[in-house]
Structure 1
Amino acid sequence: MNLLFLADPLESFKTYKDTTFSMMREAQRRGHRVAACEPRDVSWRSGGRVQAQVREIVLTGQEGEAWFEVAGRPVRALSEFDAVLMRKDPPFDSEYFYATHLLEQAEREGARVFNRAASLRDHPEKLAVMEFPQFVSPTLVTRDEAEVRRFHDEHGDIILKPLDGMGGKGIFRVRADGLNLGSITETLNGGGTTTLMVQRFVPEISAGDKRVLVIGGKPVPFSLARIPQGTEVRGNLAAGGKGVAQPLTARDHEIAEALGPVLAARGLLLVGLDVIGDWLTEINVTSPTCFQEITEQTGFDVPAMFLDALEAALAAK
């Protein structure tokens, strides 16, 4: 198969932990051809097909910047590839939004895009949990400071975060004393112009913010618990959390098995569910990670499971 990865610059990959790299490595191991481009390389001329200046690459097996070699730099229509894998990291800004529209046009031209372009737009990673209230701790989405204060009065210990944040950025905890609640709310809601999310604090964060991967509607049997370090309340690896792989709990299975088929039917081949304790906190669809950490710590081959699911999805066309 010919696979195109729409991703961040290859030179920026940290290959020792990068999930997209692990996908490419497994694809090449199976004999598939790999190409890559960035969103800025994609264009659409009136009367033509969505196309991109791509780099056809070969993985060298080396470390550092020499991990790939470029075999060619053709301009190709996205529909010429067997699959296009959208692996551009957040933020989900205007350019990401426009990229999904170009990908959706490529789908109309026959391209197979994973995750599906419209589903990327329709599942904002924090708001998406609200569709499944049976799995979510008390949560409020608002831009109204008075509503935030009422929620705090009700629950005492809360987390506030921006809807477009990633890697733990912009997350605040306010305890029962309400210290700095007004200032934090004003910072996140831009004085009432920006919507934010407020959730009851889940103390089980001390045991980790678990990333539960769902591939082709089925859960990977191990999660990666991202455990906060020191005085930090955030477990995100980007915020210094320690990643510890562990078997899924019964509750993890319950959540993943309930959501998996629903999300897969919407064209979401790969989903990363964030679970703290027994509660679902986010549904990550843009560029879920943690393949290498889980594989290295447990021996379960997550990239192989992903390629199996991708090949099955393409065969079912």
Structure 2
Amino acid sequence: MTIKLGIVMDSIKNIDIKKDSSFAILLKAQEKKYQIYYMEINDLYLIKNKSYARTRLLKIEKNKTKWFYFISEQYIKLSQLNIILMRKDPPCDSKFIYATYILESAEKEGVLVINKPQSLRDCNEKIFATSFPDLTPDSLVTSNSLLIRKFIKQHNDVIIKPINSMGGNSIFRINKNDHNISVILEIMTKKNNSYCMVQNYLPEIKLGDKRILIIDGKPFPWCLARKPQKGETRGNLSAGGIGITQKLSEDDYKIANYVALKLKNMGLFFVGIDIIGNKLTEINITSPTCICEIESYCKISITELIIDGIEKKLSQKDKHI
């Protein structure tokens, strides 16, 4: 049987194929002779509680000048697909939330959706980490500037970041003597109208912000430690961080294994967790990255593990029909 795989992602026209994790997964799926149905978030729709989408049959190749071809366009019921990968990048705004309702309808119609739509709604990538308070830095989630000032006074050195962003965007490091506190808090809270997260600064960031990939409840044994450049606080690759592939430490395994059990139980099949030192800082569930960077060094196929895991889930689902 030919497996029909749908993917919801940002425009494929704008990706960097050298490091795009969605592209890497699709390459492996194509190698396995899957039919790939490409969708963007605006293509999804619902009629009488049945899920549909405008799709384009997709062919891809490792060619930096022309990496994709649309073979045909079809409006289909999502129930015609075997699996849908939801790989839309943040922000997880109202459009993203509405899309999860449509994908949840597809799930009820028998489609395997990765990651589970309800969990995509329930688990904000910043706030979800606080579900494990023993593993995380001291954290404050608020839109109240006065509470943030008290937190800064208590910890002296803190990181403040938006709840609904990615890639190191709008992350500030502040200490209690910073002359720019007022303007930073005005910007971050939109004058007490927008939530943000504040955490105590972890000096271990100098050794790297470790991205650990978890596939179907199992941590991959290598991670990418993203080290900030001199004069920077952020280790994100998109913010100029330098990625170094390394084996998971004993502490990394302890944290990853502890978190992985809950992730699997919530239908979160492919996840990237971030660890600084021995502290869990984020749980990335929308479109985890760093597949290409890790694979290029350790020579173990992460995409093979993902596709094998998908096929196992499809097989288990078929047995219960």
**TM-score bracket relative to the smaller structure:** over 0.9
Moved more, 189-198 or 80-89: 189-198
Tell me, in whole angstroms, the C-alpha distance in 1 between the residues paired with 2:155 and 2:286: 31
Q: Is the 8 A contact 2:17 2:62 kept in 1?
A: no
Q: CA deviation at 1:210?
A: 0.8
Tell me, in whole angstroms, the C-alpha distance in 2 between the residues paired with 1:113 and 1:218: 19
> Which residue is equivalent to 2:28?
26
SS at match of 2:150: helix
Deviations 1:118-143 (A, max 9, x none): 10000000000111011001111122
User: Aligned-residue CA RMSD in angstroms?
Assistant: 1.3
Deviations 1:240-280 (A, max 9, x none): 11111111111111111001121111110011101111110
> Which residue is equivalent to 1:271?
271
> Which residue is equivalent to 2:59?
58
> Which residue is equivalent to 1:46?
48
SS at match of 1:125: coil
Q: CA deviation at 1:217?
A: 0.5
Tell me, in whole angstroms, the C-alpha distance in 1 between the residues paired with 2:55 and 2:194: 37
> Which residue is equivalent to 2:116?
116
TM-score, with normalisation over the residues of structure 1? Answer: 0.96
> Which residue is equivalent to 1:4?
6
Tell me, in whole angstroms, the C-alpha distance in 2 between the residues paired with 1:300 and 1:181: 45
| TM alignment of 1:183-202, pairs within 5 A | 183-202=183-202
Structure 1 residues not aligned, in runs of 5+? none
| TM alignment of 1:276-315, pairs within 5 A | 276-315=276-315
Tell me, in whole angstroms, the C-alpha distance in 2 between the residues paired with 1:314 and 1:256: 25
Tell me, in whole angstroms, the C-alpha distance in 2 between the residues paired with 1:315 and 1:30: 16
Q: CA deviation at 1:13?
A: 2.0
> Which residue is equivalent to 2:16?
14
SS at match of 1:64: coil
SS at match of 2:30: helix
Which amino acid counterpart does residue 274 of structure 1 have in structure 2? D
Q: CA deviation at 1:183?
A: 2.0
Tell me, in whole angstroms, the C-alpha distance in 1 between the residues paired with 2:251 and 2:150: 30
Q: Is the 8 A contact 1:79 1:112 kept in 2?
A: no
Number of corresponding residues: 315
TM-score, with normalisation over the residues of structure 2? Answer: 0.95
Moved more, 24-33 or 286-295: 24-33
Deviations 1:30-77 (A, max 9, x none): 222212111111122236x21111111222x34124222222212111
Tell me, in whole angstroms, the C-alpha distance in 2 between the residues paired with 1:43 and 1:187: 35
Q: CA deviation at 1:190?
A: 1.4
SS at match of 1:44: strand
> Which residue is equivalent to 1:35?
37
Tell me, in whole angstroms, the C-alpha distance in 2 between the residues paired with 1:81 and 1:171: 39
The list of structure 1 runs, each at least 4 consecutive aligned residues, that deviate by more than 4 angstroms after superposition, is none
Tell me, in whole angstroms, the C-alpha distance in 2 between the residues paired with 1:254 and 1:46: 46
Tell me, in whole angstroms, the C-alpha distance in 2 between the residues paired with 1:6 and 1:119: 16
Q: Percent of counterpart pairs with the same letter?
A: 38
Which amino acid counterpart does residue 50 of structure 1 have in structure 2? S
> Which residue is equivalent to 1:239?
239
Tell me, in whole angstroms, the C-alpha distance in 2 between the residues paired with 1:258 and 1:312: 23
Tell me, in whole angstroms, the C-alpha distance in 2 between the residues paired with 1:142 and 1:209: 24
Q: CA deviation at 1:314?
A: 1.4
| TM alignment of 1:204-283, pairs within 5 A | 204-283=204-283
Tell me, in whole angstroms, the C-alpha distance in 2 between the residues paired with 1:39 and 1:191: 31
Which amino acid counterpart does residue 303 of structure 1 have in structure 2? T
Tell me, in whole angstroms, the C-alpha distance in 1 between the residues paired with 2:237 and 2:264: 26
| TM alignment of 1:144-183, pairs within 5 A | 144-183=144-183
Q: Is the 8 A contact 1:11 1:65 kept in 2?
A: no
Deviations 1:111-162 (A, max 9, x none): 2110011100000000001110110011111222222122112111111111
Which amino acid counterpart does residue 22 of structure 1 have in structure 2? A
Q: CA deviation at 1:176?
A: 4.2
